[in-house]
A and B are shown apart, each in its own frame.
Chain A
């Protein structure tokens, strides 16, 4: 039997940060794997480097070293911008750009890295918004007039519509009410069920759907066992 390679694997990730003139190893040889269908929950004390780890995985951390592979293909053979279209990071601070909800959802399809990709139609966008509990948000609504919870879901939907392989979420429900947080949980669970892998930094709420629990502290990652698998 041929075992499929992990969707995302990291070996020996190291990240240094200069703090008060000293070099601090924020990530000190972090290794782990995510398989299709995984929802991994990353916890750890404040300042432990959880966000740093997500940035390194998205290849958005200057100076990080270590090996990354996507479905067995080494990151060294993949252009960074192309990598980021497949290993998609949603930063903690939701940054929708000015303009309408529709413009924001279509923004990724205007980027060179997605030349040739077919953008979703207006009907598909409408259906996608309805599915995540945003039926009352019109496509031509200006993003400045969205609530925090609505904006968070639009930002997550924008990433999901680009169909990445791996989703990196930095406290996606940090400032959300329970209903919005539940909607985010449903969206990520569906993404994993369809063959994606999710790594999410959690602070407040535990994700009931998570099947992998990771803990980052002192630059080292622990855990990684599949829960209930």
Chain B
């Protein structure tokens, strides 16, 4: 059996081996049929998407890393931000319409500041748009802040709705929008940040974080990989915090009229 090594020392996965990995799905599918889970179709589609999307990504990134053009990097970051915003908006069904703009703004501000702060100040890439660094880092920043923002927005509107009686009382006592919504804003930000804080606390004890795993498999020295991983975890927590706070602060007002009256779920849907 021939084992191919990459220049870095990593073992290369051949195409036949990649195809062989599909047998994992056959096992899962067989189990699903046996137990009657009714998810075989979803499983097959999801697996096919995994192959197609990731292979496409591989080819695109290989090309982007080769051509090294600043505007292609910016264009890709823009597309990533739009896709992440769409997912955020979809995951907060109780949110008022028109949330896309403020969610996009939050994602873009977070993505740009955190990504370029890391590449310029910590990794210190020689060229500011170096795609090999900018794109994966932006991907982690956007992906994690997306999760945080989605959780925070979902919690914001569900908590506001569950507190509608209290909000009416507060507003009747003269509270403005912020004073009435404050309790829910706090709950929403906690909901957005807790998963990140938990994963930081568990990193290295419960699991080897994904990026470090990748670097080690690719032949990097574990200690060097650790340094990167620490930077990434702190970066992700900053991104999640900035993204959640921005998006929640921009969004909570939308649950109120200009006169400071809370719009419940039904009214929010018909008002916009």
A residues whose Cβ falls under 8 Å from a Cβ of B: 18, 58-62, 80-82, 84-85, 88-91, 93, 95, 97, 107-108, 111-114, 155, 158-159, 162
Contact = CB atoms under 8 A, between A and B. Distances in A.
Interface in B251-272: 257, 259-261, 263, 267, 270-271
23 contacts: A58-B172, A59-B259, A59-B261, A60-B261, A62-B257, A62-B271, A80-B260, A81-B176, A81-B260, A84-B173, A85-B174, A89-B172, A91-B168, A95-B166, A95-B168, A95-B170, A107-B170, A108-B173, A111-B176, A111-B179, A113-B174, A155-B169, A162-B173
B175 interface: yes
A102 B239 CA distance: 40
Interface of B: 165-166, 168-176, 179, 257, 259-261, 263, 267, 270-271
B173 A60 contact: no
B174 A18 contact: no
A91 B261 contact: no
B182 to A, nearest CB: 11
A58 B175 CA distance: 13
Nearest to A60: B261
B234 to A, nearest CB: 34
B174 A114 contact: yes
Contact of B168 (A60, A97, A108, A112): A60
Contacts of B176: 81, 111-113
B166 A97 contact: yes
Contact of B263 (A62, A80, A82, A91): A62
Nearest to A90: B172
Nearest to B177: A81
Contacts of A60: 168, 171-172, 261
Contact of B259 (A62, A108, A112, A158): A62
Closest 7 CB pairs of A and B: A113-B174, A95-B169, A89-B172, A85-B174, A80-B259, A95-B166, A108-B173
Most buried by A among B260, B263, B267: B260
Most buried by B among A81, A89, A90, A93: A81
A26 B133 CA distance: 61
Nearest to B166: A95
A79 B176 CA distance: 11
Given A62-B267, A91-B169, A111 B259 contact: no
B168 A111 contact: no
Nearest to A97: B166
A205 to B, nearest CB: 23
B14 to A, nearest CB: 62
Given A60-B261, A62-B261, A84 B172 contact: yes
A225 B200 CA distance: 70
Nearest to B266: A18
Nearest to B173: A108
A81 B260 CA distance: 8
B54 to A, nearest CB: 47
A82 B165 contact: no
Contacts of B257: 62
B203 to A, nearest CB: 34
Most buried by A among B169, B173, B270: B173
Contacts of B261: 59-62, 80
A111 B175 contact: yes
A88 B172 contact: yes
Nearest to A162: B173
Contacts of B172: 58, 60, 84, 88-91
Contact of B173 (A18, A59, A62, A111): A111
Contacts of A159: 173
Contacts of A81: 174-176, 260
A97 B267 CA distance: 24
A110 B171 CA distance: 13
Given A81-B174, A95-B165, A112 B260 contact: no
A114 B174 CA distance: 8
Contacts of A112: 176, 179
Contact of A108 (B166, B174, B260, B263): B174
A52 B115 CA distance: 51
Contacts of B168: 60, 91, 95
A108 B260 CA distance: 16
B200 to A, nearest CB: 30
A84 B174 CA distance: 5
A90 B173 CA distance: 8
A111 B174 CA distance: 7
Most buried by A among B172, B259, B270: B172
Nearest to A110: B179
